[in-house]
Structure 1
Amino acid sequence: MVFWILISFVALAMAALLGLILLRAHSMAEPPAAYDLRVYRQQLSDVDKDLLRGVINDSDAQRVRTEVSRRILAADAQLQKQSSGSPQPKGMSRLTVVLAAALLIGGTLALYSLLGAPGYGDMGLASRIEASDNYARTRPKQAEAESKVPPQPNPNLEPGYADLVAQLRQTAGERPDDAQGQALLAQHEANLGNFIAAYQAKQNYIRIMSGDLEPQDYGELAELMIMAAGGYVSPEAEELLDDTLRLDPRNGPARYYYGLLQGQLDRPDIAFRVWVDTLRQGPKGAPWINGIEAQIEDMAFRAGIEYSPISPPGAAGAQAPALAGPNAEDLEAAQEMTAEDRQEMIRGMVARLSDRLATEGGSAPEWAQLIGALGVLGEQDRAKAIYAEAKTRFADDTEALAQLESAASMAGLEP
C-alpha cells in the first residue's frame, strides 16, 4: 500500500507542476509588441554605454539610434492597436491541464500494470527471506511433483536395446539384492527416460550397498529424482544433495542442483554465489558447468547483481561420438530380427567400438561408453580389462579418470 501511495503522490505532484506552468503562462500573457519595446529600449541604453567606452564612434552610434528609434515607433504603433496580447484561451488551458494529469496518472498506472506486479504486497528483504523459508517448509513433496509432470515422448531406440533393457528388468526383479543389477537397471532406465524407475533402482542399490557408498551415489539419486519431477528439486532430493555436499563439498553436479534449488526457493542471491564458486572450480565443458553458464546471467539479474562472465579453468575433453550404430538398411532389417539376432547386432556394435579404440584410440567418454556397454552385456571380465587399459591411457587426466570410474561403478566393477 505504501508503494501505491508514493507513486500516486509523485504523479499528482508532476501533474500539479505542469498545470501551474500552463495556468501561470495564461495569467502572465502580454502583447508581443510590449516585449519588443523593452528590447529596443535596452538596445538604446546599450548604444550610449558602448559610445562612452569607445567601442563605436559617433556616426555609428547615430545610425544605430535612428534604426532602433524607427523600430520603437513601429512597435508602439502596434501596441496601441492591441489592448492586450494574445492570451491563451482559459478553457483550452484548463482542458490541457486535465488531459495532461489524466495521461500522466493513467499512463503510470497502465505501465505498472504491464511491467509491475499489481496486488503483490509490500515485501522488504526480511519479508522475502521469511516467505522463502516458509515455502521451503511447505513446498510439494516428490510424489506430488511427479504427478504433475506430463508424459514424456518415447525416445528413439536402437533396435534390440529395448529388449535388452527388458531382460535386465527381469533379471533385476529376480535378484532384488544384486547391487550390480540394480546399478545397471538405474542407468538404462534413465537412458530410456524412465526416471522414476531409474531412481527406484538407484534407491535399491543404495539400500543393498548400505554404508559402502560414494558421495556421487547420493548425488546421482538426487539427479534422477529431479529429472523425474521435471526439474523440480523436492525436499527429498534436497536431503540427498545435502548428503552429497557434506561428503564432497566440491561435487559439481550437486552444486549445480543446489543452486537450482535456491533459485526455486526465491533465493537467487544464494544460487548466484554457489554457481560462481562452481564456475571457478571448473572444469570447463563439464555438463554442470554448461548448465550454470546457460542460466547464471538470469540468476544474477534476479539477484540484482551485475554479472561479468567467468571462464572456468581446465579444458573440456572431446565429446564422445555415439556408439557405432546400424545404417539405414540395418535398421530396416532389424524389424524382422528375432530377439537373439538383435542382441547379436548390439554385440557387433560394441565390437566395432572396441576395435576402433584399440587401433585408433579415443576420448575418455568413448572408453567409458564401452565399459558400460560391456557391463550391460554381462561381459564383466572384458569390461574389467578395458577399464584397466583405459586407466593407463588417462593416468594423468583427473577428469577422465572420474568418468571412467563412474562407468566402471555402474557396470558393477570395483573402481
Structure 2
Amino acid sequence: MAFWILTGLLALVVSGLLALSLARSRAQAADDRSPAAYDVDVYRDQLREVERDLERGVVSRADADRARTEVSRRLLAADAEVRAAPETEADGSRTTAVLAGLLVAGMVAGSFALYLRLGAPGYGDLALAQRIEMAETLRRERPGQSEAEASLPDAQVPGDASPDYIALVEQLRATVAARPDDLQGHLLLAQSEANLGNYAAAARAQQAVLRIKGAQASVDEMIDYADMLIIAAGGYVSPEAEAVLRAALARDGTNGTARYYMGLMLAQTGRPDTAFRLWDQLLREGPEDAPWIAPILNQIEEMALRAGVRYQLPEIGVAAGRGPDAADIEAAQDMTPAQRMEMIEGMVGRLSERLATQGGPAEDWAQLIGALGVLGETGRARAVYDNAVEVFAGDETALDLMRRAGQRARVVE
C-alpha cells in the first residue's frame, strides 16, 4: 500500500508542476497588452496633439474638428475591442483549468496503466541474495525430462519422409530391441530417429550408445545426447540434460555447445546475468562459423537487458581485455621498471572498468584479482573478489576459479 501511496503522490506532484507551469504561461500571456490597448494610448496622444496644434494656431478649427472626429472614432473602436478582452481572458482561464485537469488526470491514470502493464503490482523488492536463492530453488525444483516431454505433442513424421525409409527405421528399431548391446545399431538408430524428428527416441538410442561405450564415450557423443534431450523437451534444459552437460564440461571445459546450453539453462532458471557472461565470452572467443554463435546473437541483447547490462555486441572471435599482446610485450622490453608498472596499471584499470560496466567471464575476474594482488592492492583485490563471489553465486566452477585467484592474491585463506 505504501508503494501505491508514494507513486500516486509523485504522479500528482509532477502533474501539479506541469499544470502550474501551464497556468503561469497562460497568465503571462494574459498580462501582455493587446494591440488594441496600444492603439488606445496612441489615439489619446493624437487627440492631445490636435489640441496643442490648435492652441498654437498650426491648424484651423475646422481641420482640428475633422481630425478630432476621426481620431475619436478610432479611439472608440479600439476601446470597445479592449473592453471585450476580459470575456476572452475568462474563456482562456477556463480553457487553462480544463487543460490542467486533463493533464493531471492523464498523467496519473497513464502512469498507473503503464505500471499495471509493465510492472508487478504487489511484488515486493528482492535483494540480490534473495533473487539468487530463488533462482537456485527454481533450478533444483524444475521439471524433469520425462515431464517436459509429456507436456509436448507427439512427434510427427516429416511429410517428405519416404515410406521405404520409415519402414527401414521400423525394422532397425526391432533389430536393436533384440540386440541391446549392438553399438552400431544404436548409433544408426539415434541418427535415424533424429532424422524423423523423433528426438525422444533418438535420445534413448544415444543413451544406449553411452552405456555401451562407457568411459570410452567421447565428449561429442555426450554433447549429442544432451542436444537430443534438449530438442526432445522443446528447447528446455532439464536436470538430466544439465547433468550430461556438466559431465562433458568436466572433460572439456572449452566445449562451446555445452557452454551455450549451460547458459540457456541459467537463463531458464532465473540467472540471466550468468547466462549473459557465458554467451558474451563465447562470442568473443568465436569463431564466427561456430554453431552456437547464431543462437547467441539472436538472444544475447535481450539477455543483457534482463541482466541490467548496457551492452554492445563485441567483435566475434576477438577476446578483448585478456592481457598484453605480443606488441605490448615487445614494447615493454624497452621500458624502465616505472614505465612497465605504469603500463600494467593501465591494463588493469581498463580490465577493471570493462568488468564493472560490461561484465565478463570468470577468467577475466580471476585475472583482475590476481593482477591487483601482484600490484599490492589487496584492498581492491578483496573488493573485486567479494563482488565476483556474489556475481557467480551458484556457479561452482567459477567460484573455484575465484577462490584460487583470491589465494594467489592473498585475500582469502
Q: Distance in 2 between matches of 1:240 and 1:2?
A: 48
Q: Is 1:32 matched up with 2:37?
A: no
User: Which residue identity does 2:300 align to in structure 1?
Assistant: I
Q: Distance in 1 between matches of 2:31 and 2:190?
A: 90
Instruction: Report if aligned partners of 1:259, 1:274 keep a CA contact under 8 Å in 2.
Output: yes
Match of 1:308 among 313, 317, 323: 313
Q: Is 1:245 matched up with 2:240?
A: no
Match of 1:325 in 2: none
User: 1:217-228 alignment to 2 at 5 Å?
Assistant: 217-228=221-232
Q: Distance in 2 between matches of 1:244 and 1:216?
A: 8
Q: Is 1:138 matched up with 2:141?
A: yes
Change (3 A) 1:23 1:137: same
User: Which residue identity does 2:172 align to in structure 1?
Assistant: L
Q: Secondary structure at the match of 2:90?
A: coil
User: 1:41-56 alignment to 2 at 5 Å?
Assistant: none
User: Which residue identity does 2:249 align to in structure 1?
Assistant: L
TM-score by length of 2: 0.59
User: Which residue identity does 2:15 align to in structure 1?
Assistant: A
Match of 1:98 in 2: 101
Q: Secondary structure at the match of 2:217?
A: coil
Change (3 A) 1:74 1:207: same
Q: Distance in 2 between matches of 1:21 and 1:35?
A: 27
Instruction: Report if aligned partners of 2:187, 2:205 keep a CA contact under 8 Å in 1.
Output: yes
Match of 1:150 in 2: 153
Match of 1:261 among 260, 265, 273: 265
Q: Secondary structure at the match of 1:111?
A: helix
Residue 231 of structure 1: how far off its partner (Å)? 0.6
Q: Distance in 2 between matches of 1:280 and 1:306?
A: 13
User: 1:387-406 alignment to 2 at 5 Å?
Assistant: none
Residue 238 of structure 1: how far off its partner (Å)? 0.8
Q: Secondary structure at the match of 1:32?
A: coil
Match of 1:278 in 2: 282
Q: Deviations over 1:219-260 (max 9, x none)?
A: 222111111111100111111111111110111211121111
Residue 74 of structure 1: how far off its partner (Å)? 7.1
Q: Distance in 1 between matches of 2:36 and 2:133?
A: 66
Change (3 A) 1:280 1:84: closer
Residue 168 of structure 1: how far off its partner (Å)? 1.8
Instruction: Report if aligned partners of 1:30, 1:84 keep a CA contact under 8 Å in 2.
Output: no
Change (3 A) 1:4 1:247: farther
Q: Which is bigger in relative contact order (C-alpha 8 A, separation at least 6)?
A: 1
Match of 1:45 in 2: none
Instruction: Report if aligned partners of 2:186, 2:209 keep a CA contact under 8 Å in 1.
Output: yes
Instruction: Report if aligned partners of 2:36, 2:79 keep a CA contact under 8 Å in 1.
Output: no
Change (3 A) 1:80 1:211: closer
Q: Distance in 2 between matches of 1:176 and 1:184?
A: 13
User: 1:15-414 alignment to 2 at 5 Å?
Assistant: 15-21=15-21, 30=31, 32=33, 78=79, 87-88=89-90, 92-155=95-158, 156-304=160-308, 305-312=310-317
Q: Secondary structure at the match of 1:306?
A: coil
User: Which residue identity does 1:16 align to in structure 2?
Assistant: G
Single out whichever of 101-110 and 1-10 deviates more from structure 2.
1-10
Q: Distance in 1 between matches of 2:90 and 2:119?
A: 39
Q: Distance in 2 between matches of 1:297 and 1:30?
A: 54
Q: Distance in 2 between matches of 1:189 and 1:80?
A: 92
Q: Deviations over 1:351-385 (max 9, x none)?
A: xxxxxxxxxxxxxxxxxxxxxxxxxxxxxxxxxxx
Match of 1:56 in 2: none
Change (3 A) 1:180 1:80: closer
Q: Secondary structure at the match of 2:146?
A: helix
Match of 2:66 in 1: none
Change (3 A) 1:218 1:98: same
Instruction: Report if aligned partners of 2:263, 2:278 keep a CA contact under 8 Å in 1.
Output: yes
Count of equivalent residues: 285
Q: Distance in 2 between matches of 1:243 and 1:105?
A: 55
User: Which residue identity does 1:32 align to in structure 2?
Assistant: R
Q: Distance in 2 between matches of 1:207 and 1:249?
A: 22
Q: Distance in 1 between matches of 2:32 and 2:227?
A: 81
Q: Is 1:8 matched up with 2:8?
A: yes
Q: Secondary structure at the match of 2:236?
A: coil
Instruction: Report if aligned partners of 2:155, 2:198 keep a CA contact under 8 Å in 1.
Output: no
Instruction: Report if aligned partners of 1:12, 1:101 keep a CA contact under 8 Å in 2.
Output: yes
TM-score by length of 1: 0.58
Instruction: Report if aligned partners of 2:222, 2:244 keep a CA contact under 8 Å in 1.
Output: yes
Instruction: Report if aligned partners of 2:284, 2:314 keep a CA contact under 8 Å in 1.
Output: no
Q: Secondary structure at the match of 1:160?
A: helix
Instruction: Report if aligned partners of 2:285, 2:316 keep a CA contact under 8 Å in 1.
Output: no
User: Which residue identity does 1:205 align to in structure 2?
Assistant: V
User: Which residue identity does 2:33 align to in structure 1?
Assistant: P
Where does the alignment leave 5 or more consecutive residues of structure 2 unmatched? 43-70, 319-413
Q: Distance in 2 between matches of 1:32 and 1:271?
A: 66
Q: Distance in 2 between matches of 1:122 and 1:172?
A: 55
Instruction: Report if aligned partners of 1:31, 1:85 keep a CA contact under 8 Å in 2.
Output: no
Where does the alignment leave 5 or more consecutive residues of structure 1 unmatched? 42-69, 314-415
- Quick one: percent identity of the two aligned structures? 44
Residue 31 of structure 1: how far off its partner (Å)? 7.4
